[in-house]
Amino acid sequence: MADFERRSRTRKLPSSYTVVVMPLVLSVFMSGIVSAVATVVNVGLGATFITKWPGAWGTSWVVAFPSLLMILPVVRRIVSAVVETPR
């Protein structure tokens, strides 16, 4: 019962925020993973990775987030042209 009460008090953003929140979350994960892989390939795992990766991630995210904001509408149109909509 306490869990239900806690969840009912949790506030969520309106659904109109989806167009910003989805690319935000996606860009955090995508840029983190891609920058980690690129950093490991270039410097290997170890102390150098730990010092280089946060900067690489930040730089990647600064590019990824606005890119996703611009590209996701195009991707949605392409996907809707290729994938059948359920009835």
Q: Structural domain boundaries of the chain?
A: 17-82
Task: Please give the angle made by the CA atoms of 37, 40 and 45, to the nearest 5 degrees.
Answer: 135
| pLDDT score of 74 | 95
**What is the block-wise mean pLDDT of the chain (87 residues), using blocks of 10 residues?**
64 92 95 96 94 96 96 94 89
Residue 20: predicted pLDDT:
93
Determine the pLDDT at residue 8.
Answer: 61
pLDDT at 15: 92
Are 32 and 57 in contact by the 8 Å Cβ rule? The answer is yes
CB 64 within 8 A of CB 27: yes
Contact, 23 vs 68, CB < 8 A? yes
- Residue 85: per-residue pLDDT: 85
